Chain A
Amino acid sequence: MLHGSRLRLYSLLTVVFLVGGFALAAFWAPMDADQGFMQKIFYVHVPMAITALIGFVAGGWFAIQYLRKGDSRDDLRSYVAIHIAVVLGVGVLLTGALWAKASWGRWFVWDEPTLTSFLIVFLLYCTYTPLRFSIPEPERQARYAAVFAVIGGAFVPLNFLAVRLAEPLIHPRTLNSTGSLPTEVRTSFFLSLIGMILLFITLCKYEMASKNATAQMRALRRKLGGDDGGVAKRTAAPTVDVP
């Protein structure tokens, strides 16, 4: 079975929520009294950051499932969640840098805990794929990657908590203040956040459908006695068991 079930529904919901959220942010949400128009970056930057962190934790959760049950599909889910979260992490750093430059006149503020902690988490997860690639045996690769994902996944909420407890320098604490936000801002923000989470789920489903289709194709080729490419190519992506 392909992993791409209900892909059309997820794709449609993603477009509706993201376009809806961004449209409300642009035309309905009021201008920020302090930052003015540039505060509109908030509706893309913050949902992307929250979704990336959720993705890292989800990767850890699936890794726990893999270590418990040994099902290669959980290893694939963990890999894909981390992979997409890293892509979103690139977006967080780029949009954050643009906002920082517009707001504070600098691309990055090194002594701000929120920024540096996110960068550390991002760089940590950047080593996940090279780690997988460095281990040729699929089973050992999956096990080591799962341990990495569990430790990394546990590090994310601890890191988040540490940042909350630290003295903020200039970066605002978003989730502390959503209750006090005007309805227009809050609605636009939560719609964008739901849209971003849906985008994450949709991209994960696309990636898993693609990986699963490739694995099934290889299995079919072996069954038909065709050339399977000779020596197995080393890859960082998990090997999916196909009956």
Chain B
Amino acid sequence: MTDTLPDNGGYVAAAYIVFFALVLIYLAIMAVKLARIERELSELNELAAGQQTDKTAAPEPTEPRA
């Protein structure tokens, strides 16, 4: 086996690099989307926690006396 690529080896390497680059770009986009979902989820958690606190802090409504 030689250390150099055969004739036109650059084109073959470029074709496989194109394929893996496409997959990597797609995965990077998915990672960005996942990060956004995680951020929104933590916001929702905070919102839910805030509503829980409000419910416990609010006084019980009392029936008006006749």
Please determine whether B19 and A91 come into contact, CB atoms closer than 8 angstroms. Answer: yes
Please determine whether A98 and B18 come into contact, CB atoms closer than 8 angstroms. Answer: yes
Question: Among the interface residues B19, B34, B40, B41, which one has the most CB atoms of the partner chain A within 10 A?
Answer: B19
* Given A210-B37, A221-B44, A226-B44, residue A90 in contact with residue B22 (CB < 8 A): yes
Contact size class for B?
A: 20 to 34
Q: Return chain A residues, CB-CB under 8 Å to B12.
A: 37-38, 40-41, 102
Q: Which of B15, B44, B48 has a CB less than 8 Å from the CB of A99? A: B15
Q: Return chain A residues, CB-CB under 8 Å to B15.
A: 41, 44-45, 94-95, 98-99
How far apart are A82's CB and chain B's nearest CB, in angstroms? 15
Please determine whether A38 and B37 come into contact, CB atoms closer than 8 angstroms. Answer: no
Q: Return chain B residues, CB-CB under 8 Å to A203.
A: 26
Total chain A interface residues with beta-carbon distance under 8 A: 32
How far apart are A169's CB and chain B's nearest CB, in angstroms? 21
How far apart are A200's CB and chain B's nearest CB, in angstroms? 11
**Interface hits, A192-226 → B, CB 8 Å:** 199, 203, 206-207, 210, 213-214, 217, 220-221, 224-226
Extra pairs beyond A37-B5, A38-B8, A226-B43 (9, CB < 8 Å): A36-B7, A38-B11, A87-B26, A102-B11, A210-B33, A210-B37, A213-B37, A217-B37, A217-B40
A residues apposed to B, CB below 8 Å: 22, 36-38, 40-41, 44-45, 48, 87-88, 90-91, 94-95, 98-99, 101-102, 199, 203, 206-207, 210, 213-214, 217, 220-221, 224-226
